[in-house]
Chain A
């Protein structure tokens, strides 16, 4: 009896080993400290700008390792982090308003490997440092806003169709429409059936309707709110200048934001969490503020407070809201006070133009609106704390009509102006968000984690290798080659999948190393047993592999089931661990069985001596 692999099987194993090695290699090269520049407005950076940046880096005396310009983005690599930091500071000043400057760790993969599309694994935040946020979107207020929108739409639809109505109001159970008589009820029904078919209509009394948003639409609204929030958050994060941020949906109301390398979490929290926007309203000059304070708020107007807490009476009708702002930048006005320069979209500009023209000489107010949402624990109960802060930041007399571009003053500091401009540019959040989880890892801890992880993988590996050689000699050595091959394959698959390696993931590698030799132990024990039973060495090898394989398959399938479930239900760190475990189980079956068999066949397949076998 001889043990031979068909040629194709040998070729397959060697091919897999080669490909695996190529795709695992990039992980050996590490990262270059780099600075990444991307345009801060819609037009991408131009070649001329890239040349200018390269020239200014060289002029400042920083040694560039390489300089790349592709797809409107600049990536400048440096030899050390010191140069990187200083160059980034310099560029931030130079390119302020033109480009965002972000610190980055760019993989130092050589060109020939990149030609294969080989890239290193991503490193998780626990390994490279950075901050992780989990944000919860306040869906209740998204729904409330939708109801408010419908209420306004119904009112204006009634006005357009000249339907007389007593009231259209948002109640707890939906939108309530009260009509004065039968005639308008018929007209209203017609309007509602035509334009608001999406809403469930119930006749709740004589000449009275209640409209509800049906379940299906509620889901749509939630989905839209989440989607818009993700877009807005992405815009804001881009403004922060973070290389490779991750902004992802998690579940149906949460968003994960990961910012590698960011240390200033206060600023990040401020930018992610705030829902600030502006509204422009006319000041109600026909009515008296004092009588409104006394409880006689005139219909069509509402009381606001200005920054000093003094009451201001404003018209309810909004001229322009924040979502009609297409661009905003901060700066100083003629008097040197901080200002935000606003650009409106077409609709907003038209409305603003008409309003200002009709109201020259009258005062107009800018209202700053901020939503805050927070869950606090009070007396052991979770209490959601919601707040809508509205303050009038400026009241100015309209001197001339204006439409598309204008400025708003009344801000406390240049910093506030900058933040407001950024928030307006990035767009408003559709619904307030709240930080429900934060994990920040400092860069030094990240490096320490990498070192410790590597150390335990190496130590674990050496211990197993030593043990296997001592116990099984030649067959142990073969198993050790397979083990090395297994780690290479595992890393290459992680790299090809562009998976993220975390500290628990490294623990997974350590565990995989310990468990992968199980298959070899099973096989080798089986071969020893068959030898004891008096089989020839060729037969023992053959039977040993065959019998062990059934067991290996069964035990690994069950183990794999557990790993899949761990991956499916686990969050964050657990997922990273489970992924490594899953891949490790799959690769170990291949390397420990097929890989070792190939080597065993090579060394022993043609050997007819029946006495000596090193196991």
Chain B
């Protein structure tokens, strides 16, 4: 076996576990202390994006809204000083139709010229719960589906470690959103799901290589050596693919506009974590679980992968 690199990944295993453990701990503590700044997709409420021809005076708009009973209105510039995003939690005792008319007139009354309403989103209290449930179910089934597939194609220790790596990726990515107080909306949730797809893809490539290396290795090589060789063999690919994905995500983050900025940021974090976890969580955890050569040796008759491309 010749590899371009000979890095002893596994010797740094302990360090990696501490590192991941710390990040996980920070994330989880942050969930309890700060929580996630959930978007209106989940909490219900409404959102208005206004575009003015002049720079909008947020302070004035905020105080006017406050006087009119919208004390918890969340105002921010959106992309430029002329764009304003107003977010409201579900407001008591007012119909949605009245609400949007009132918010608009109040917001506009605070500025010298009325603005253009670019976007309205209203999510009723009964929808948010459904979205949380559906998102949770999607996550759950994604984990189960992957676990089953990896168990069948590989074996259970790898399967379990792969799932652990995915948990690690998604919790830490969400942790970033919690710690920095970024808004967690529907697009961020889909980014989490998408990065699970990305991360498992990465992990499977490494697993595939581990299995192959086991089958071609000499009997005296330890499983640790084998895993390390496999990691080295796939290292250039792991880095290259992460890089191309990272590049496209950078394009999305900088050019894709405000609406999918959250998505791009979550994916960017996720790609870095996913690459790291494929190496340090998915593989070394399997070793800690007692992965052995025998687990990956072909059964009596190996089914050859069917066709040539």
Contact = CB atoms under 8 A, between A and B. Distances in A.
A555 B208 contact: yes
B252 to A, nearest CB: 5
A455 B255 contact: yes
Interface in A105-120: none
Interface string A501-528: 0011011001101110110011001000
Contact of A565 (B126, B127, B145, B251): B145
Interface string B250-273: 111011110110011001000000
B204 A438 contact: no
B96 A438 contact: yes
B121 A525 contact: no
A80 B218 CA distance: 73
A284 interface: no
A554 B162 CA distance: 14
B25 interface: no
Contact of A570 (B124, B134, B245, B246): B134
A216 interface: no
B257 A581 contact: no
A441 interface: yes
B300 interface: no
Given A515-B201, A515-B241, A573-B190, A440 B120 contact: yes
A456 B138 contact: no
Contacts of A468: 244
A431 to B, nearest CB: 16
Given A436-B124, A442-B117, A452-B256, A525 B309 contact: no
A453 B244 contact: no
A204 interface: no
Contacts of A569: 134-135, 137-138, 141
A265 B138 CA distance: 33
B237 A522 contact: yes
A41 B287 CA distance: 73
B209 interface: yes
A546 interface: yes
Interface in A467-494: 467-468, 471
B257 A266 contact: no
Contact of B240 (A382, A434, A506, A521): A521
Given A514-B249, A522-B237, A562-B197, A441 B244 contact: no
Given A442-B117, A464-B248, A551-B205, A377 B125 contact: yes
Contact of B126 (A136, A532, A547): A136
A562 to B, nearest CB: 4
Interface string A558-594: 1101110110111111100110010000000000011
Contacts of B250: 463
B198 interface: yes
Given A456-B255, A510-B249, A561 B149 contact: yes
A504 B188 CA distance: 11
Contacts of A436: 123-124, 126-127
Given A269-B97, A459-B251, A565 B138 contact: yes
Interface string A33-48: 0000000000000000
Contact of B263 (A136, A504, A522, A546): A504
A549 B138 CA distance: 29
Contact of A549 (B236, B251, B308): B308
Contacts of B247: 460, 463-464, 467, 514
A573 B187 contact: yes
A435 interface: yes
Nearest to B96: A435
Task: Give the size category of B's interface with A.
Answer: 35 or more
Contacts of B145: 561-562, 565
Nearest to A466: B247
Given A438-B121, A438-B122, A459-B251, A517 B201 contact: no
A70 interface: no
A577 B241 CA distance: 21
A442 B236 CA distance: 46
Contacts of A570: 134-135, 138, 190, 193
Nearest to B233: A529
Interface in A45-74: none
B33 interface: no
B252 A507 contact: yes
A566 B194 CA distance: 8
Contacts of A217: none
A134 interface: yes
B188 to A, nearest CB: 11
A565 B137 CA distance: 9
B248 A563 contact: no
Contacts of B204: 551, 554-555, 558
A374 interface: yes
A582 B169 CA distance: 22
A308 interface: no
Contacts of A558: 146, 149-150, 197, 200-201, 204
Contact of A573 (B137, B186, B243): B186
Contact of A378 (B93, B260, B267): B93
Given A377-B91, A521-B244, A577-B190, A510 B256 contact: yes
Contacts of A464: 244, 247-248
Given A456-B252, A559-B200, A573-B190, A568 B138 contact: yes
B101 interface: yes
Interface in B126-141: 126-127, 130-131, 134-135, 137-138, 141
B187 A504 contact: yes
A78 interface: no
A239 interface: no
B297 to A, nearest CB: 16
A513 B204 CA distance: 20
B12 interface: no
A556 interface: yes
Contacts of A449: 257, 259
Given A435-B124, A460-B251, A549-B305, A518 B241 contact: yes
A569 B139 CA distance: 9
A514 B94 CA distance: 46
Interface in B192-219: 193-194, 196-198, 200-202, 204-205, 207-209, 212
Contacts of B3: 529
B2 interface: yes
A546 B304 CA distance: 11
A448 B119 CA distance: 12
Nearest to B150: A558
Contact of B248 (A441, A510, A561): A510
Nearest to B166: A562
A123 to B, nearest CB: 15
29 contacts: A265-B120, A376-B92, A377-B90, A379-B92, A382-B125, A434-B124, A436-B126, A439-B120, A452-B256, A453-B257, A455-B256, A456-B255, A460-B251, A507-B260, A507-B264, A514-B248, A521-B237, A522-B237, A529-B2, A545-B308, A545-B309, A549-B309, A554-B153, A561-B142, A568-B141, A570-B135, A570-B190, A571-B131, A574-B186
User: Which 5 residue pairs are nearest across A and B when measured between Cβ atoms?
Assistant: A514-B248, A569-B138, A460-B248, A436-B124, A562-B197
Given A377-B44, A377-B90, A570-B135, 15 more contacts: A378-B92, A440-B121, A442-B116, A464-B247, A514-B248, A518-B237, A532-B4, A553-B305, A559-B201, A562-B146, A562-B194, A565-B138, A572-B186, A574-B189, A594-B309
